[in-house]
Amino acid sequence: MAEKDNPGVVLPPALIWALFVAAGVGLNLAWPLPFLPAAWLNPLFWTLIAIAAALGWWGRISLRRHGTAVIPYRPSTMIVETGPYRFTRNPMYTGQALAVLAIAARFDNLWLVILLAAWFPVMHYGVIAREERYLEAKFGEVYTGYKARVRRWI
C-alpha cells in the first residue's frame, strides 16, 4: 500500500482552533472569569485581531503564490521561505493563537487564555510535529536547513 503524501494531522487545524474557542466560550458562559480592565478590552482586541488576521492571510497567500498546499491533507510541493515564513515556520498557527488572545480580550474571558495553554501541545503533537516529520522526510536537507534558520514560533 502506498504511503499518503500528507502529514496525517489528527484534525484540521481550524477545527482544533474552533473547538478550543467554543470550549472557552462555553466555560465563560457557565463560570465567567474576567481578567482585564474594561478600558483595555477593545483596543487589545483590535490590535491582536489585526495582527492575527494579517499574519494568517499573509501565510496563506505566500503558500498559494508558490503553488503548495495550504490545507495539511494535501501534498506539499515545496518549502516556502518567503513572506512570513522568513520569520516563523507556522505563521497561520501563530495567527490562530493571537486570534484566541484577541477573542479573550474582547470578551474578557480568561478561560480562553487558560485553554490556549492546552491548545499548544495539541497543535504541537497532533499537527506541527506530524507536519515537520512529513516535510523532513519529503524535502530532506532543504527542510532541515530551513528548520535550522527559522523559528517554529515568533
The pLDDT tens digits for 93-114 are 999 999 999 999 999 999 999 9
pLDDT per residue as tens digits for the range 109-150 = 999 999 999 999 999 999 999 999 999 999 999 999 999 999
Q: CA-to-CA distance for 84 and 149, rounded, in angstroms?
A: 13
When pLDDT is cut at 50, 70 and 90, the band that residue 3 belongs to is low
Whole-Å CA distances, 21 to 15, 104, 121: 10, 9, 15
Q: Are 88 and 151 in contact (CB under 8 A)?
A: yes
pLDDT per residue as tens digits for the range 70-98 = 999 899 999 999 999 999 999 999 999 99
Q: What is the pTM of this model?
A: 0.93
DSSP 86: G
Residues present in the chain in total: 154
CA angle 99, 103, 104 (to 5 degrees): 115
Q: Is the pLDDT of residue 4 over 90?
A: no
Q: Please give the full DSSP string across 6-42, using - where no structure is assigned.
A: S---SS-HHHHHHHHHHHHHHHHHHS----S-HHHHH
pLDDT per residue as tens digits for the range 28-70 = 999 999 999 999 999 999 999 999 999 999 999 999 999 999 9
**Which cell numbers hold the place of 21?**
474557542
